[in-house]
Amino acid sequence: MAAQAGERTSGSSRRGAKSKAAFRTISEVADELDVAQHVLRFWETKFHQIRPLKRGGGRRYYRPEDIELLRQIKRLLYTEGYTIKGVQRLMRHGGVAALQNEQAEVVSQVPEPETASESAGASSSSGDKEAIKKAIAELEACRRLLAARA
């Protein structure tokens, strides 16, 4: 019986060490991407580019390309704020490569960090202070309007 327990332990540690080229089940992909299985099934209906292999009993096996595509779709939907239609449009006009190019563009648009002296100088300009004061006044006016309706 101790030998069986040892075999189970070594088998479970081996399971986590799949190669990158290995096919993954829907539960493995859901865990890896931190999304529910039903979300992956839903995305399959919305994005025809996702084509997992289906075996007996309807079991899905995702290829590494499918997983990468799902990762890009998740990033666009959850991080970049795209809608499903927006991601579909992006894929329709540029294909799967458009998703990877979109990620590269987002990374290239990240501004360089400012030094402490630059950020202090920018925040102390009178033009910025006036713009902030104006925005606050507009927000307060909106608050008063909403309070009057309630």
Average pLDDT over residues 22-49: 93
Q: How many helices (H) and strands (E) does the chain have?
A: 7, 3
Report yes or no on 28 lying in a domain.
yes
Inform me whether the pLDDT recorded for 73 exceeds 90: yes
Inform me whether the pLDDT recorded for 53 exceeds 60: yes
Task: Quote the CA–CA distance of 125 and 81 in Å, as a whole number.
Answer: 32
E strands within 26-121? 53-54, 60-62
Report yes or no on 7 lying in a domain.
no
Would you state the pLDDT for residue 43? 95
Q: What percent of the chain has pLDDT over 70?
A: 66
Its pTM stands at 0.55
Report the first-to-last Cα separation within the chain, whole angstroms: 70
Domain that holds residue 72: 19-108
Report yes or no on 10 lying in a domain.
no
Q: How does pLDDT run across 78-122, given as a tens digit for each residue?
A: 998 999 999 998 888 876 666 666 555 544 444 544 444 444 555
Q: What percent of the chain has pLDDT over 90?
A: 32
Report yes or no on 121 lying in a domain.
no
| CATH number of the domain encompassing residue 65 | 1.10.1660.10
Task: Quote the CA–CA distance of 59 and 36 in Å, as a whole number.
Answer: 16
**Number of folded domains that form the chain:** 1
Report yes or no on 75 lying in a domain.
yes
Q: How does pLDDT run across 112-148, given as a tens digit for each residue?
A: 444 444 445 555 567 777 888 888 888 777 777 777 7
Would you state the pLDDT for residue 66? 92
Report yes or no on 86 lying in a domain.
yes
Would you state the pLDDT for residue 39? 95
Half-sphere exposure of residue 93, counting CA atoms within 13 Å on the CB side? 7
Report yes or no on 137 lying in a domain.
no
Report yes or no on 128 lying in a domain.
no
Beta-carbon count within 10 A of 25 CB: 14
Inform me whether the pLDDT recorded for 62 exceeds 80: yes
